[in-house]
Chain A
């Protein structure tokens, strides 16, 4: 069953720039795939439409059977709780510890503290950061910071993980580490969609690839 499906989706930004033009595709539940294309091709816009950060101008975006393009604003937070987002700009909070950064999604969704703490530590353990739980994110290396982002994205056990250039600032060894983690989550049934322009990475992982070119799917 398709967990994400786009049909004839277009997105035009105020000012006239057409980021996506009549894009149609479907992602099966439990699939792992890449989204690629030159910079400005519309990769980030496509991810934003899935997470209801932007609204499509035409067509239908279905996520988990819900029509995201016609969603009430009050329902959007609940859609996002089912998504694990790894942001291009990381968005780690530097006024709190590694542990508290991972706790945030659980607190936002109202998990009891004890249970939340247990799950946060489990997520940190999975990405190998448990010994650094009290550290400030600033003191982490680039690879460790990216792993922290992954831990924060999956701590709520989302059905779908969306990652925007998760390996962009990392050298090859760290990039492989991150990809191993995504692959591990995918093994347990999580749908993973990774936007990247790293051709080498795509070549190595042999997954389905969606290629955008000037807002059109190839």
Chain B
């Protein structure tokens, strides 16, 4: 047990020394891994931010029902009764044409334009909130309400949210595909780095096998090397993503201010960063495992 710990410590120290001895090559490897990982990680962060924005908008589908200009009070009451009685309707809100005009005139820059109007051009309207985001339900109700007497137009407000949702789903799939591809490239980079290291230490490995080293003993330092490369690459990827988000945030804040929002790009939290590091360490380890196993299987010891 003590000997085993001793060899683990020795492997780690030797691996660190080996990395420090060729700082340039090490740096290039770390950058290669870092950039490969930064792409999916960065995409994941941006996607998370977009989802947050879309989450602020009500995803509950709403239907706006605009009445004909000549609708009388009795017609309005009849439509309201039909809306409230329909299956799948959660809430019905009446927006009178006067209220709509008042609301519009409160919007910046609109009051002058409205003051110039001789009469109110807006129709009376109902805003109907549906009880579920089921697309078929929304479509069915939209169709039903359109045929009511004195109803001019029906608008489905949730359509763009649904489109954004679909786009985000596409984005998530793209991140997964990107992660898999670039994860493979990370395994390839460590595989090759370890292979080169094995070739430079070929004599030592062969000798160790001849004097009774187990495969586990021979693999150990290379596992450390692969895992360390993964760790350093993961740290590099985090640094790249955090720096990119910080730069983007400056422009984003400007943009958000124009829209009267104080929304900022969110940085990945500590558990996400830890997960990213664990992922890259695991991939580095895997690259090392494949590389050493291949060598141990294919090489032939000799006297």
Binding site for B on A (CB under 8 A): 44, 47-48, 51, 53, 74, 77-81, 85, 87-89, 91, 93, 95, 104-105, 107-113, 152, 156, 164
Interface pair A104/B208, CB less than 8 Å apart:
yes
Q: How far is the CB of B32 from chain A (nearest CB, A)?
A: 27
Residue numbers in B under 8 Å from A80 (CB-CB): 210-212
With most chain B CB atoms within 10 A of its CB, the pick from A79, A91, A93, A113 is A91
Interface pair A51/B3, CB less than 8 Å apart:
no
Interface pair B303/A81, CB less than 8 Å apart:
no
Is B163 in the interface zone, CB < 8 Å from A?
no
> Complex Cα distance A48/B4, Å?
29
A53-B301 contact, Cβ under 8 Å, with A85-B211, A105-B211: yes
Residue numbers in A under 8 Å from B207 (CB-CB): 91, 93, 104
Contact of B212 among A74, A87, A109, A152 (CB under 8 A): A109
Interface pair A108/B208, CB less than 8 Å apart:
yes
> Complex Cα distance A5/B97, Å?
108
List 20 interface pairs A-B (beta carbons < 8 Å), by A numbering.
A44-B303, A48-B303, A74-B214, A77-B212, A77-B213, A80-B211, A80-B212, A81-B211, A85-B211, A85-B303, A87-B210, A87-B303, A91-B210, A93-B204, A104-B208, A108-B208, A110-B3, A110-B7, A111-B3, A164-B303
Interface pair B213/A108, CB less than 8 Å apart:
yes
Interface pair B206/A91, CB less than 8 Å apart:
yes
> Complex Cα distance A107/B215, Å?
14
Interface pair A112/B214, CB less than 8 Å apart:
no
Nearest CB in chain A to that of B207: its residue: A91
Is B302 in the interface zone, CB < 8 Å from A?
yes
Contact of A108 among B4, B212, B215 (CB under 8 A): B212
- Total interface residues on B, using CB and 8 Å? 22
With most chain B CB atoms within 10 A of its CB, the pick from A78, A79, A110, A112 is A110
> Complex Cα distance A91/B214, Å?
19
Q: How far is the CB of A182 from chain B (nearest CB, A)?
A: 17
Interface pair A112/B212, CB less than 8 Å apart:
no
A113-B211 contact, Cβ under 8 Å, with A48-B303, A87-B303: no
With most chain B CB atoms within 10 A of its CB, the pick from A79, A95, A107, A108 is A108
Nearest CB in chain A to that of B213: its residue: A108
Residue numbers in A under 8 Å from B102 (CB-CB): none
Residue numbers in A under 8 Å from B214 (CB-CB): 74, 77
Interface pair B213/A88, CB less than 8 Å apart:
no
> Complex Cα distance A110/B301, Å?
21
> Complex Cα distance A194/B251, Å?
79
Interface pair A112/B2, CB less than 8 Å apart:
yes
> Complex Cα distance A108/B207, Å?
10
Interface pair A107/B303, CB less than 8 Å apart:
no
Residue numbers in B under 8 Å from A95 (CB-CB): 204
Residue numbers in B under 8 Å from A91 (CB-CB): 203, 206-207, 210
Is B164 in the interface zone, CB < 8 Å from A?
no
> Complex Cα distance A48/B6, Å?
31
Is B10 in the interface zone, CB < 8 Å from A?
yes
- Find residues 193-207 in chain B having any chain A CB closer than 8 Å to their own CB: 203-204, 206-207
> Complex Cα distance A184/B133, Å?
91
> Complex Cα distance A176/B211, Å?
26
> Complex Cα distance A47/B210, Å?
12
Is B217 in the interface zone, CB < 8 Å from A?
yes
Nearest CB in chain A to that of B218: its residue: A108
Given contact pairs A48-B303, A91-B210, a sample of 10 additional A-B residue pairs in the complex whose CB atoms are under 8 Å apart = A47-B303, A74-B215, A87-B303, A89-B303, A91-B206, A93-B203, A95-B204, A107-B10, A113-B6, A164-B303
> Complex Cα distance A89/B203, Å?
11
Q: How far is the CB of A137 from chain B (nearest CB, A)?
A: 12
- Chain B window 1-24, contacts with chain A (Cβ cutoff 8 Å), 1 for yes, 0 for no: 011101100100000000000000
Interface pair B303/A53, CB less than 8 Å apart:
yes
> Complex Cα distance A108/B2, Å?
13
> Complex Cα distance A79/B212, Å?
7
> Complex Cα distance A111/B210, Å?
17
Interface pair A51/B204, CB less than 8 Å apart:
no
Interface pair B212/A81, CB less than 8 Å apart:
yes
Q: How far is the CB of A13 from chain B (nearest CB, A)?
A: 12
Contact of B3 among A105, A112, A164 (CB under 8 A): A112
